[in-house]
Amino acid sequence: MASPGSFLVLLEPDLKSPEDLEGLLDSSLTRGLTSGQAEEALRRDGPNELEKPPKPTLRMLFAAQLTGFVIVLLACAALASIVVSFTGPKKADALSYTTAEAIFVIVVINAGISAWAEHKAGDALEALSKMTQASTTVLRDGREVKIQASAVVRGDIVVLRTGDVVPADLRLVQAEDVKVSEMSLTGEPDDVAKTVNLKVQGPDEPMTLTPENMVFSGCSVTYGKGRGIVCETGMLTRIGRIAQLIADDWNNKPKTKCGCLPDCHPTVSATPLQKNLERLGGRIGAIAVVTCVIIFVIGLALDRADPANPDSPAWLNMILVAVTLAVAAIPEGIPLCVTISLSIGCSDMVTKNVLVRSLASVEALGCASVICSDKTGTLTEGKMTLVNMWSAGVAYSVEGRGFDPTVGGVTRDDSGKDANNEMSVRSMLLAALLCCNTRLSKIRDPATGGERWEPKGDSSEAPLVVAARKIGLHESIGNEYKRVLEIPFSSCRKMMLTVTDVSGRRELCTGGIPLPDEAELLVICKGAPSVILDDCTELLLEDGDAAPLTDSKRREIQEVIDAYAANALRVLAIAAKTLERLPFDAKDDEVSPDQKLAACRTGLRLLGLAASIDPERSCVPESVLTAREAGIGVVMITGDYLRTAVAVARKVNILEPWDHEGVTAVDCARLRPQGVYLPRKHMDSLTSSVRVFARARPEDKLQIVKSLQRQGAVTAMTGDGVNDAPALHQANIGVAMGIQGCEVAKGASDMILTDDNFSSIVAAVEKGRSIYAGIQKFVAFIMSVHIAEVTQIFFCIATGIPVMRTPLQILFLILVTDLPPAVALGIEPGEKAILNHPPRPKNDPVVPCWMWLSMVLNGVVLSVVIIGVYVVSLMYYCDGETFQSNIEKLDDFENKLMDARTVAFISLVWSENVRSYSSRSFDKPIWRDVFGNPYMQRAFIVAQLCLYIAVLMPYFSERILKLRGIAIGGAGWALALAGPLCSLVLCEACKLATARQQRRRWGLSSFSLARHNADDRRLLNVGVDSASWQAISSSHAVFEKGPASTKLMSAAPLAGGGGIGCNGSSCSVAGGEPGCCCCSAVAPGCSGGEKAAAADCCFAGYGGDVVCKLPPGAEEPACHVSGGCRPGAAAAAAAGGGGGG
């Protein structure tokens, strides 16, 4: 297989002539390679395929799951139980090993579910390899032959025709009007014209993403034909380099999850939930070990022997008690419950048009702080659409979106009236249609089964064809107009010319401009306005006549063109003229196409301008605002030009009206001056304030994501092309487009949007936050149970009363009767205002301090209540005795003790079922929407059925679980009822303390930021630290939400002239007015040493939320933005909060 170092690597083949490459590769431009040369090259270089990393087997995944800390502790507890049973008097009884067996079953089930879920994840590089064309045409031994794409080798001469997929990286040696779609590689929708010669790039011209004389593997030929010599194959192609980026990152990833096993997690970065649960498990495990040791020492000191075997040593009994305590302390239900909750969440996501490939990524969206989005096909539709026209001095709008010609029409801008039948409109669009080779047709969408419109041909012609259809002009009308001559578009000509036979016609078309009587031929030119206007001498008028194209008219037209370009519209000019005959001899083969073009293009009449755009997706602007309100920044990373990117960013609200383009939008060349990326410190400084990155390469996207992650951001990267794959793979959450997304992007992602709608991401974020909130609820629920279990066992050992329950009973409680309510809590519907909260910090623990308070309080309440029920039961069934030393002297004490334990067991299950309803909210009363979660009702029923099976089923209840539900009688059941009643009252009372803690937390660390906009007013809830909060209340501080976290950007200048967050110094913006202060860490380009005036402050905003302090006595705050100062239009920071946002 091709790999670096296996042969000579060609450096910059686009800068070498075809003849030079012919010699270097020992090939022939006219005959290609010989069969022998091709076989030798294939043996030397390997097949033209992409390497794949070894995919972990299901067995590997299962083994990896067994390395988790909690699982290892459980396995140790099971082994200890086996040792105790084997050394005890009942070692021959199979039932004495049920505890160990049950633990092992739980371990296997949990690991099996998790491993199977991971096994279903796809592989990005496997998808990359599927992009290769199955077969291609090459020159071998002087003949054209079709071979498998994998058999293509360096030096092969590949024959390209319209519709072919390029099999390798080629340097063109022949090109006849070749156009290639590089959308899958660069992400841009426009076809790229290719030539044989390399265009010399001017010093002021922006760098192109790909050389004009190179075509790359995986791209499709949309127009023309040509030949190219293969320069690179396999992993050395551009697609191969992208694949290598993914593979290198995979190989370099630390193996934190699987220890010595191969890394088997499908995502690059462990999600916040995985890390938090790992930390929580380790913490609880350490506490469990310490607690077991303490209990063991206490029991050994008090000589607590086994009552069923008084002659056995106390240390042996205490080992069994320690195992019981370990089972009670270790939250073995959490991993299984998380897996089930996330699996159900994944199923629910499908209804929101999101397919999830990695379970943990569902909740990871909940703490996403930055969404890095590709432009084309993600924020926009990826379909060039004609939106504006200008003809005969009149501006028109074209309604409708995409390629559907049945929606929309043409209207006048000045009156809004229908213009479908206006002479100038029909004439211009027919002329454009006669100068096109693109056809529009319906095709069946294999994904949906429905039909959709799709153009076949040049993507720049598609908007004209669709618009012509909207006014009733079908492409088939071209059959009525015989084409006499065609000069195709080229990057040098920047125009296309056709000559059509119009003999015998009095008008161009029905309702079109009149034609002169002597007109036999119609010359039509379509191309760049700067080129077409130079050849025009006349201008079409509304009545069909013509007027001279004066200099003043040219200036007016240029203003129209500039206005279109400023809005990221791509403009084509259409011009025409009539001829009596061709100005050259059509039979003379010596006349070149350029000579024919020069002879026909003079004295044209300008028919009009057509302005197209790749429109933003519906609902995207509102979704960006919603994301901002949720505390999530949106960053656009695109391969398009900076001017176009900025215009689109403003339309979708990524950039706001007051944002300065010099700070918030950059060409990615600034990331890599002289071809070398900036140092990390400078890179992070740049990316912290920029929200639009233009002319981005695949490597740039990867560096941007890494930079944001270094700043603490949880990144979600969206994309649909090959160029997005490395960044999708690196991001915390990779989000691919399902319709327009290539298999590469889907394979590298964690989730796929089936409707390609950016708005679905917001819905996914909401669902992710809801799932995380649900996980917190069931973790609190389960942990309070474990706290209660440990407390109860500790109380029993310390006081000398019999241990309340066996290890097997504890497992049954936690994994059978408590698990269904816990799962129901995990899929609890989210709060309505959940998107009003800021994203949680990625290092925020699953169990924050206020949750620990809630868990401890509930655990203590449960312990006190159940211990009370148990003590009363002991006194009732054990003849008034409560201490173990006295009970074991009673006749039939084992059955009497079993009865007391049964009452406590039933009471605990009932109490937990009641608590499951109470746990649906940490601060709201139980009766608030008590039946709002339908899953809870089902879980309650399942838990009750499991309880009655446990205490009433013959043999199973008495012999295995050691419970006697029938023997306790009505009195026992009535006594058990006291537990849930007391728990309900006391646990609801505990919510008062929890609610107070929450209000105190939010009240001290958050505030509402009122943002005023020309269009609307919204509240942004932003979390800040307590030190910054003190600054707010004392200085009317200015705040700004950054990509990784909220930053206090500026406040009333402190001693020395510095603002908070500005490192104690003020500065002036390069090119701006003196007196502006900004933070150099956020606004690169700040320099100077000018001190800010007491009434002035400014900053380069991430998110565009310009907020200024109000000086004493001033009626309006003074506000400045980086790059220049401006007054007014500010929002005031107001202290507030509470209730979580």
Active site residues: 374
A 10 A CB-CB count for 1046 gives 21
The SS3 call for residue 304 is coil
- Torsion over CA: 1109, 1110, 1111, 1112 (sign): negative
Burial 474-494 (b: 16+ CB within 10 A, else e): ebeebeebeebbebbbbeebe
CA–CA gap between residue 527 and residue 815 (Å, rounded): 71
DSSP 210-233: S-TTEE-TT-EEEEEEEEEEEEE-
CA–CA gap between residue 915 and residue 928 (Å, rounded): 14
Contact residues for 588 (Cβ-Cβ < 8 A; gap 6+): none
Per-residue tokens: 811: 């497992």
CA–CA gap between residue 602 and residue 351 (Å, rounded): 59
Q: Percentages helix, strand, coil for the chain, rounded to the nearest 5?
A: 45, 15, 40
**Burial (CB count within 10 angstroms: exposed 0-12, middle 13-18, buried 19+), residue 932:** exposed
Per-residue tokens: 1119: 């506000």
Residue 480 — φ and ψ, nearest 5°? -85, -10
CA–CA gap between residue 200 and residue 492 (Å, rounded): 12
A 10 A CB-CB count for 734 gives 32
**Long-range contacts for 508-514 (Cβ within 8 Å, ≥24 apart)?**
508/426, 508/427, 508/430, 508/431, 509/426, 509/427, 509/430, 509/473, 509/477, 510/426, 511/421, 511/422, 511/423, 511/426, 512/423, 512/426, 512/427, 512/430, 513/423, 513/424, 513/427, 513/540, 513/544, 514/544
- Tell me the CB-side half-sphere exposure of residue 867, using CA atoms within 13 A: 19
Per-residue tokens: 828: 């609890």
Contact residues for 310 (Cβ-Cβ < 8 A; gap 6+): 888
- Tell me the CB-side half-sphere exposure of residue 580, using CA atoms within 13 A: 2
Q: How many helices (H) and strands (E) does the chain have?
A: 33, 37
A 10 A CB-CB count for 230 gives 30
Indicate the residue type of 203: P
Per the DSSP assignment, residues forming a β-bridge with 979 are none
H/E segment holding residue 38: helix 35-45
